[in-house]
Amino acid sequence: MFSSPHDPFAAAEKAADVLVRRTRLRPEIAVVLGSGWRLVADALGTPETECLMVDLPGFPQPTVAGHQGAVRSLQLGGRHVLVLLGRSHLYEGRSPAEVVHAVRTAVIAGARVVVLTNAAGAIDPALEPGNAVLIRDHLNLTGASPLTGADPPAPYPSRFVDLTDLYSAELRDVATSVDGTLRQGVYAALHGPHYETPAEILMLQLAGADLVGMSTALEAIAAHHLGAAVLGISLVTNLAAGVSPQPIAHGEVLAAGQAAVPQLARLLADLLPRLPVGQVAS
């Protein structure tokens, strides 16, 4: 059970204290690895510490294939990096507070930059499976917000947070300097767990979305609310319904992620040491 549904910030503070004691460091960068990204963590190097998510207060065990449910800390290019292997989703029956608990914990523990990765379907027909795409904006169509409820207690900011620059332009510039082939796009977040209908994909296309998935948006809002800079990276694992001539299956998502491991590992290994961890412009 989630430890404190009425005060999610107190719950994250408690988890952050345990996390810092277990990892013996305060993270500068937190990375959330989505479906198909687990092997990327192995390629980043040997962790200094690792623990199961369920051993941290308030962390539920992920139930989705491809989400390991572990937390690693490692040094990469002189940066303290916290890697979250797995995440919780609304479609698992989790509340918005539970979905963002890991990200809130990481930021309260010290992370000033949060890198959110995910597996996504391509709405833009120019995108292909295996492409990594920087998220420049999102459409939150989940019907949920991590800031619903009572106003956050002091010293946290008001729940009425501006999302104009949610995905840091500075961090995206750093990423494109590392890999000039990276494209940028708008990510549409839906509740899931079912994949979308062709009519829904057409609607999203008309609304300006390039990618579609079932995560990331709530975590980005929670991290931004706490003052962290957010970088979103989608791995295109399939073509969306109506774009793809074939039925969509979760196994396809995982297989595409495994095939892209070398590319993604190189990207993160080169990128993470270059990300500014001080005051980052949105």
250 is catalytic: yes
- Active-site residue, from 13, 48, 91, 200: 91
Task: Tell me, yes or no, if 191 is annotated catalytic.
Answer: no
Active site (annotated) includes residue 200: no
Torsion of CA 171, 177, 182, 188, to 10 degrees: 10
Residue of 53, 120, 122, 214 with catalytic role = 214
* Catalytic residue (one of 4, 30, 53, 67): 67
Q: How far apart are alpha carbons 32 and 7 in whole angstroms? A: 23
Q: Which of 35, 131, 140, 168 is catalytic?
A: 35
Of 119, 188, 189, 265, the catalytic one is: 119
The residue annotated as part of the active site, out of 203, 250, 269, 282, is 250
Cβ–Cβ under 8 Å, residues 101 and 12: yes
Q: Are 50 and 81 in contact (CB under 8 A)?
A: no
* Tokens standing for residue 244: 């793809």
Instruction: Name the active-site residue from 89, 101, 138, 225.
Output: 89
Q: Quick check: is 214 catalytic?
A: yes
67 is catalytic: yes
In a 3-state reduction of DSSP, which class is residue 257?
A: helix
* Angle in degrees, CA 210, 214, 215, rounded to 5: 100
Closest CA to 80 of 104, 52, 48: 48
177 is catalytic: no
Catalytic residue (choose from 131, 215, 234, 244): 215
Measured between alpha carbons, how far is 189 from 216 in angstroms, rounded to an integer? Answer: 7
Out of 168, 238, 240, 256, pick the active-site residue.
238
Is 35 in the active site?
Answer: yes
Active site residue 92: yes
194: Cβ contacts below 8 Å, ≥ 6 apart? none
Q: Give the closest residue to 181 by CA, choosing from 270, 95, 112.
A: 270
What are the residue numbers of the active site?
35, 67, 89, 91-92, 119, 214-215, 238, 250
